Structures are given as structure tokens and as C-alpha cells.
Structure 1
């Protein structure tokens, strides 16, 4: 999908990257263990992160034959711009873990391939720099990922900057009142490596390294977030589209509709938050049925091939997003 791959000759067959699994294996050879654990692991017993990918294997494609595919077109519209195929780069934070260019490289790649990108509020580069990197290659749409913050002034400032730089939508991450219980981060005492900052929050590397990843998240995010307070507040401070990221139930789909949100992303945070929730491909049909066409529905989590994307679209998603493959590619 999105154009045929172009094989690059190599003398070592083990170096050939022909699929996402090859990309993952190649990345694991280069990444330090604690970094690989941070990227690849989920919360507690790793049930949801595992099922996000394996659940796709339960669904079968009813193939049709003798169909003219000579003019097949995988392009679609996302955020008002034509996208080469229905895949975007999810808001994945700390991409500098995998490559010095981090989010800048991802923005350039997305612009080159004609797909949108969501900017994590924990990016290692500023919104302006990320937008500029992409626009230097070609037209690109960006969404701005947000958490509900204890500091409303800071939250509004990030929104205003995203607007100034031309972002199209807010992806409000709604499944993270606190950080998921990630045993690997505790065992490794994971801290963002020296030299990487969070400029969107105004944090330099010295400030970040003084606290664990878990503590830094707890200190800034507001665990009293709720539908009735936060969606109307967002509407009062921005004209950007408002999307709710982290929906896995019909009930929350209906809440998003009731409060006039522009869309939802059926997501379980890549299995990194509450373990034991359904795989997103399994949650998708419930959300689609509840929506009855009244709200746009995207999906992320475990998508590793064009076939996975096809299944998600067939089950009612409008668009698909991926996170971990970004890190593997950067690595």
C-alpha cells in the first residue's frame, strides 16, 4: 500500500529490511537494553501490548477475484489534505532515544510520503522546529498531542503555539490520569538520557534527569481530568479540531459525540497504560456501532502491515496510526 517498496541491494541477507518485523529486529541490535525496554514494553503483565498485534490474526480477509485493480488508489483525505494512504505517525515521545534527529526526521519522512504526523508533547524538539522540518520537504498536516495539565497557563500556551505553527488538531490523550505501571522502567530506573530536553514544556536535560520518568509525568498531569470540565475548556481556547485519544468503549464514544468532539482515536496507548483492556482492533467494532456515523473514528495499536490496515478500515476505521515502528525506523 502507498507504492511498491524499492529493494536496496545488500551483501548480507540479514541486513535486508523487507517488513516491519525486520525493522524491529534490526533496531534491537542497535538500541541499549533500557531504551529498547522503554520503547517496546507495556504495562504490568504485557497482555494488552501482546494482544494489540496478535488480535489481528483472528480476522480473515474475504478475498474477491477477477476485479480490475490496475487503477487502484489507496489515497484518502485526513485533516483536509490528501494522504497517500490511510496511515499516520502517532504522537510518540522522546524520539531522540532512537536517532539524534528524532521528531525532525519523522516529520521529513511523513512529508516525503504524504502522510500526517502527530507531535507528542514530550517531543525532543519544539513544535516550530518539527513543523519547519516537515514543511521544508513538502505539505504536511500535524496534530498536537496534549495531556490535561495541572498548570492551565502552560497547557494553554502549548495550544497557542500549536495554533501559531499551523497545527490542525489536538489529540487529547484521555487514558493517562497517571502513568501506567511499567515494571521495566522501575527496574532500569529509566530516565531520559542526558542531552535530551522537552522544549514544549520548557524543560532542559538537567531538570529532566533529576526525576524519574514516572515522577515527571505525575508532577505535570492532572488526574482530576474529566469530560464535563475539560472538553468545554478546550473549545473555549482553540478552534483546532479536538480528538479524544484512548477510547475503547461505546460509552466513551457516545460521550465524545455528546460533547461535540471532532473525532476519536480507538487506542489503548500501545498497551502502556491500563493492562488487560481489549486490543484496539477488538474494541473498534463496538465504537463504530455506537457512533453510527456521527463522529470520525481512527485507530492505532499493533498495526504492522497493509493487511492490518485493511482489516481496520473494513471494521469501520477511517484512518490508522502507528507508534513503535517510528522508533525502529529511526534506529
Structure 2
């Protein structure tokens, strides 16, 4: 019989426990990260037993990819190429880009033209950083090129513009799509509780470990204040507001949500929040309701299943869709 030294016995005694400890995952905890992308601030908070750094990197990579695909300010983006050449010759595009264009045209029809990605035909004339807006003559010329019926799609990967002066911008749908892509990535990784936001768009995955998430709607006239908090779980939220990109000119608020009919900023509302099952729809609908106005916008929302809206006008009055009031 082989005798063990005291040291050897001590190691033998504790080896199973040490192996078990090494095999156990890291202690589950909330992990969070912020970064800048797509012209705004992205933020993610999630519950995981593992180090979430690889997941954060994957989210950053996916959103950077979408920015490179959809940004009008990146010269090599697919959107920039289409704007530059689709008015001259038919362009071959990725299936992903084609599907986003098709989805945008569906919303053009659903909203009677309120959601119109060709607003960019006038929108590119605004410079919100420099506080510059086009004059009436410039707008009148640009408005002749607005109208999504000028976009011709041929499945599965072709697009052309019937009007060479037409431009598009997917700003009313791109961030919502990016959120949905990010949530799909988190689900694939097994994450069950998370909050992902990108500017005014967000999605809560699961609950907050036994209680709802509380997501705030920014006060449209105070960056530091919250207008109201909403309890949420497994739900998308998008807020469109006249405070996100704007400047004041001759006493008028010039902001980025433009009327497809006039090419000018929409007056009347300060904030529209839409809640539904996915972020791409919430994003498109919050823009659409803002353009339609409170009455027509709520009439649209009240026709759609599992969709809610909260509207704040410039006087601070709050209006809700029927499902939130019991109507």
C-alpha cells in the first residue's frame, strides 16, 4: 500500500471540489455597455452567467455593418450608391436592402403616403448642425421628386427610380431594423433578459428578473426629465420627436420629421411613442403617426392589432390609443 504524505492527502481531498468550482459558470449578473453608432447612442443591458463581452462585440459589429449598408452619409453604402445611380440605370442590390425597400413601400401604402422614404429628395437640403433650411424655391423644386411610387422594385434584387431627381432615406425604419437584428442575435446566444436601445428605439427582452422593465419616454422639452415610465416585457418601443434633431429659425422649430407633401417640418406634435411586437414596425409607425397628426394617426393605430400609441402635443397634452384607455 502506498502511503500519502500530508500534502498529497490534502490535494487529493480537495481536488474534486476544485474541479467542480472550475467547471461552474461565472456568477450570473447584469452587464451593460454603451457605444455610438448610426448617428446616435446605443445601449444594451443583459443578464448572463458568462462574460458578455463577446456578445457586446457582436452587437457592435452588426450595427456597424448596418450603418455601412444604410447610411446616406457613408459614400460606399448601398443606399448612397442607389441614390447616386438608380435614377439613371437599374441597380442590383442585396436581398436584405431589397426587403427593407419593400417593407418601406408597404408602409407607404398603409399610411396613405405619410411614411415616404423619398422625403430625402427635400430632406438632404437641410443641415441641422449648421441650422440651415432650404428656401421656398429650393423646396418647390425638390418636392417634385417626392413620392414613393417613383421607386420600382423587381424581385429579388433590382431597384430603379422613375425620376432621376428622387432620393431615399431609411432613417424612419433603419434603427428599428437594427434593434430587431440585435435582439435576434441575443436570443440566439440564449439571453432571456435584456434591454437594447438605439436612439429613440428600444426593445425589452423578457422581464427584469421577476418584474417588468420600466422604460421612460423622454420629456420633449427637457433632456433631463422623463415624461412617463412604462412597464414593459417582450415589447418594442419607438419614439419620434421634434427635439431629436432640430434648430430654431425665425421662431419656428425646424426638425427632421418632414411632411412628404411640403418638405417642411411637421407642426403640432412634440412626441409620438408606439409600442408593438417588433422594432421595425414601431419605428415606421411612430414616424407615420407624427406625420399624420393625432386624429388620423390614432385612427391608424386603433386599426392595428397589438399596437399602442402615446402622443404628446406641443402644449403638453397627452393622448392615448384606445387599448390604453379602455376605449
Of structures 1 and 2, the larger Rg is shown by: 2
Which one has the bigger helix percentage?
Answer: 1
User: What TM-score comes out, normalization by structure 2 length?
Assistant: 0.26
